[in-house]
Amino acid sequence: MISVIKRRDFLRLSAIAAIEAGLFSIGFPRSSLAGAPAKEGLAYLTAVEQIQYFREGALSPVDVLTAQIERINKYNGPLNTSGRELKDYLKFNGQVNAVTYEHFGQAMQAAKEAEKRYKSGSARALEGVTVAVKDENDVRGWRVTMGSVLLQDAPPAGENAAIIDMLLSEGAILHIQTTVPELYIHSQTWSRLWGVTRNPWNLHYAVGGSSGGSGAALAAGFTTLATGSDMGGSIRIPASLCGLYGFKAPFGRVPTSETTFETLGPLARTFDDMVLMQNVITGPHPKVHAALRPKLDYPRTYGGLKGVRIALDYFESWIPEGIDPSVREALADAAAVLRGQGAVVDEVRLGWSYAGQYKTFMHGLLSTGIGAMLLNAGQHRDKLTSYAAHFLKEARNGGPEAMAAADELATRLHRQLQQDVFGKGYRALLMPTLATPYFPADNDPTTDTVMVNGKPVKGMAHVLTYIWNLLSRYPVVDVPVGIAGNNIPIGMQVVGNTFDDLAAFQVASGYSRTGLHLYKGDLFPDYRNKA
């Protein structure tokens, strides 16, 4: 008996065969890993591409999820490879180590349901698209550890966080939880509980934090989208180091918490995917008081940049060591791309410095709930990861006076921005995300230094993000603009005026169309392990 293959099934099988043969040239990236099967390109399909092929019946959500699970099994390493033995928490496991818990059975059932929705014509905005969940967002029945041995046996969440409600309501598939530094208080991702999360672009180097597991999972092809949160740069730092687009929305745009320093947001491999996810998670929600209304709609396409004025500050005065030449070169190249589109890019110098602002910001931040959480953990100080124990000491400097000082600093910087940048007609401000992309994955800010221009820099002085959490009403898009000599990507912050998200998106979109395109051609992570 000869079976008849339906058109939908034929398209699906043909698409998979084409990928396996390396013949699909439009939109299907190929893995650059030696000996890797070409079908791994399925795991790197953008959300926009996936939805198109799902609708046409050329692919199923089951196909993509299966490909991503295969990559997780191959490149992540056994769950908790570094072990829960405290003496082994910095052990190198030879793999990415970005996943805390897997939920493959639940996800596969959701993928099958999504397949049915596409066939019935009832698909939603993110139908069948995988989203990795940072180990912070509550999902009913899932355990949130916050990267701490103190919470390794915490009870499962009783209800979904608002962002999870919004993702599920639009058909997203939640398949993994991703690693974080303990209590989200470090710009890199390693902890006594989960060990070291390593960058797929170069396993020797860091993925950033605190949304580091989400960044690594995207770079490794473990997921299509990922949730992040940003309290001092926790979306933008992993975005920069993993070659991703990430968005720190102004306070209240995404239902998050009452802490003005913090916001939730998307991480994605492309600008269009970031927009797709942001449109799902923005707007009011009955569970969160601090959520702006009405909902803002983010277009994927914008008008040209001809005549648009953009300010650029290299932030070379931030620390005496300046910024790494690779960072300066990447931002200069990005400015050239924007000028090529007709934008007017002028260099400005705000004169801001780490020495003058970091402690004020940090003591203000530690006057909020994160500080209270650290103080509550103080009775178990011997079980805390080194940096968490360090910030426990700092938390004692929080309080009303520290918050008042942070508010005063925010007011002063805001007035300067309005006078020197946005008040002069600039549509956006460009600046680096980090002073250098060169720091090992297991760098300990309490004891180790980071080299910038051949000089050692202590602590987290190389981080250029947290000022926008103090100035929390400014939107910031992180855009990949280069690759350093260690094969680690370099990010640029695009800052819009207060609550003017679309200004930042317009500039980021303009760059994304003709600038650096990672995860295409030969620009894929290669899992090297070289300092």
Q: Which residues are catalytic?
A: 134, 210, 234
Q: Is residue 457 helix, strand or coil?
A: strand
CA distance 449 to 443: 8
**Burial (CB count <10 Å: 0-12, 13-18, 19+), residue 359:** middle
**Residue 294 and residue 403: Cα distance in Å, rounded?**
30
Give the closest residue to 213 by CA, choosing from 45, 439, 441: 441
Question: Minimal CA–CA distance to 370: which of 121, 136, 168, 166?
Answer: 136
Nearest 5°: the CA angle 310, 315, 321 is 160
**Preceding omega of 234 cis (within 30 degrees of 0):** no
Give which of 208, 169, 173 is closest to 50, Cα–Cα: 173
Eight-class DSSP state of 371: H
Tokens 């994304």 belong to 512
CA dist 47 to 217, 276, 356, 414, Å? 15, 8, 42, 36
Give me the residues paired with residue 491 across strands.
Answer: 480
DSSP single-letter state for residue 24? -
Using CB atoms within 10 Å of the CB of residue 284, give its burial: 0 to 12 exposed, 13 to 18 middle, 19+ buried: middle
CA distances from 424 to 309, 348, 415, 447, 474 (A): 9, 11, 12, 43, 17
- State whether residue 265 is helix, strand or coil: strand
What is the C-alpha separation between 107 and 114, in angstroms, rounded? 10
Residue with tokens 């003709």: 514
Contact between 139 and 174 (Cβ < 8 Å): yes
How many CA atoms are closer than 13 Å to the CA of 97, on its beta-carbon side? Answer: 30
Residue 144 carries which DSSP code? -
**For residue 390, what are its two tokens?**
């360090």
| Alpha carbons 202 and 19: distance in angstroms, whole number | 26
496 and 503 Cβ atoms separated by less than 8 Å: yes
The answer to whether the beta carbons of residues 59 and 53 sit under 8 Å apart is yes
